[in-house]
Amino acid sequence: MNMAVTQLEPYILKGSIKVIDRFFSVPVDYTKPDGPHIRIFARNLIPLDEAKGSGTDAAESDLPYLLYLQGGPGFGVDLSLSVDLGNALHKKKYQTLWLDPRGTGLSTPITADIFQTKKMDDEAIAKYLKHFRADNIVRDCETIRHFLLDGKKDPEARKWTIFGQSFGGFCAATYLSFHSDGLKEVFITGGIPPMVDSPDSVYEALVLKVEERNKVYYAKYPQDVRNVRRILGFLEDNNVVIPNGGNLTVSRWLQLGVQFGSHGGIDRVHQLVFRAITDLDTFGKLSYGLLDSVQSAQSFDTNPIYAVLHEPIYCQGRMAGWSAHRTIQKNDRFIWGKVKFMRDAPIYFTGEMIFPDMFRDYRHLRPLQGAAELLAHDEDWPMLYDKEALKKNKVKVNAATYYDDMYVDFGLVQEAASVIGNVEQLITNQSFHDGIRKHRDNILTTLFDLSKRERD
């Protein structure tokens, strides 16, 4: 496949890090290589001191590649993460490659206004979005790997190492399933994927962890039982519009609970509750500052893939059918219409879950409502994992698994880990899902120790 590549002028960051930014042109649909193309952005960080200090006068290009696969789905790579985590990885004698997965960041983005500009109907939008799951992200990676490494004489030098955080780990498992011959080694943090065909079992497990985190929240801030009830009562009785034109509804306020799964998230939600109550006491309404803070805390407007494909990332030949919504309906503690009649009862916040009403409440999801409905009831999803190939896997997989992960259920992870060959895990209850940010050095040290496969 002929591929157009645009390489921008390199520059040097503090710390002698050479940066090479590239755009790769790839097909939207790999079964139609002559069809429409999109651009994929990848930022290459090369530690010049490590290249010079290798003891062999190695050229920059001789440093082996480590490709970072971002969490999500639907998020590009944060520059500060690439520098901070990159510095730690560079000490392991890698040059790093930071991919904005298709549809995110500087890669050709998925946004509602682009679809409106192209005048695409719901069916066309849904068909287009189906090409933005892990299977095609991995195909993009392979396209880039071939471009960068096919010229190497040593076959082993044509392989690279990958590092998947969260959904990036899901992509890593897809990579191992279908393109393991391109991999030297795999590192995963919080992202061994449940080996399921639909998300139902995922949410049935995760809702228990969300309940647990709610209990921790209200135990820490018992005054918030009445405070949250008061806020929801106000939202129920008033039409509250946030700065970008979206609606702040009862459901949307409870979605702040997604933060319960990360370090400091419980405290951040409490601060929003505290500010909202202060506003109601002072002004009888919610201030612009509070509404802006809520808007900033929720990323669905700017990262619509996170909403539209969040459930389909689990689908293999089965529909998602608004799985989280159906699961939540079974538990009265999450249903304001019932809890409000239970005197002094806490209402539970929801977790990393997608609901149909989000496509009304978030302004930039509204144009995608029809497509989301079509995708929710689509059964034609290709396979993401090959269990037989994974059982025979010989590529070293080193994974950090978090016992108290609110986004990726520990039990389902262990079931999946038992399927994948050559996996070693760091299992800890001292980190949440974002442990690679909070406890980076400890986690990396242990993962690279696991990589040695040394036995007592």
**CA angle (314, 320, 324) in 5-degree steps:** 90
Q: What is the DSSP letter of 314?
A: G
Q: What is the DSSP letter of 241?
A: B
Please name every residue paired with 215 in a beta bridge, in sequence order, or none if there are none: none
Q: For the chain, which residues score pLDDT lower than 50?
A: 54-57
Share of the chain above pLDDT 70, in %: 98
Do residues 65 and 165 touch, judged by C-beta distance below 8 A?
no
Q: Dihedral sign, CA of 83, 86, 91, 95? A: negative
Positions marked catalytic: 166, 405, 433
Do residues 170 and 101 touch, judged by C-beta distance below 8 A?
no
- Name every residue whose Cβ is closer than 8 Å to that of residue 209 and which is 6 or more positions away in sequence: 351, 404, 405, 406, 409
Do residues 45 and 12 touch, judged by C-beta distance below 8 A?
no
Q: What is the pLDDT of residue 55?
A: 45
Distance CA 79, CA 106 (A): 12
Q: What is the pLDDT of residue 60?
A: 74
Matching residue, tokens 């139609």: 32
**Amino acid identity, residue 292?**
D
Matching residue, tokens 């803070």: 293
The number of helix segments (H) and strand segments (E) in the chain equals 20, 10
Domains along the chain with CATH numbers: 5-196+383-451 (3.40.50.1820), 200-376 (no CATH)
Do residues 96 and 86 touch, judged by C-beta distance below 8 A?
yes
Cα torsion through 28, 30, 36, 41, rounded to 10:
50
Nearest alpha carbon to residue 243 among 369, 362, 360 = 362
- Name every residue whose Cβ is closer than 8 Å to that of residue 357 and which is 6 or more positions away in sequence: 249, 251
Distances (CA, A) of 175 to 65, 96, 180, 323, 418: 16, 18, 6, 26, 17
Q: What is the pLDDT of residue 407?
A: 97
Distance CA 210, CA 257 (A): 8
Q: How far is CA 227 from the centre of its chain?
A: 31
Please name every residue paired with 38 in a beta bridge, in sequence order, or none if there are none: 26
